[in-house]
Amino acid sequence: MMKSPKGEIIIRVKPSFDNSTSASDLSEKESLLEVVSVMMADVTVKAAMEEMERKINFLMKVVEERDLEIPALKDQMQTRETTYLSQILIV
């Protein structure tokens, strides 16, 4: 696996092992499978982390928007309360 100049990941696969693989070659095959497994796990973890980062950023944006709504709602409540109290005093 290597990165291209564009930042894309390129995975190079060794040729398949046939059924006549010797015992010494089996350990090489197992080693290759372990490396591929680790590489895939690393890619999977990276993708999961990127997805979590996107979700966290989205949630932060939602919280910021809600934080901006709170003062506006407080102002509305205060205006209605003032209007209500002024109507009570008039009656």
Q: Where are the beta strands (DSSP E) in the chain?
A: 2-3, 9-10
Q: How far apart are CA 66 and CA 30, in angstroms?
A: 53
More confident residue, 80 or 42: 80
Q: How far apart are CA 69 and CA 52, in angstroms?
A: 26
Nearest CA to 28 among 10, 16, 11? 16
CA dihedral 14→16→17→18, nearest 10 degrees, is: -160
Q: What percent of the chain has pLDDT over 70?
A: 53
Q: What would the pLDDT profile of 42-56 be if each residue is shown by its tens digit?
A: 677 788 888 888 899
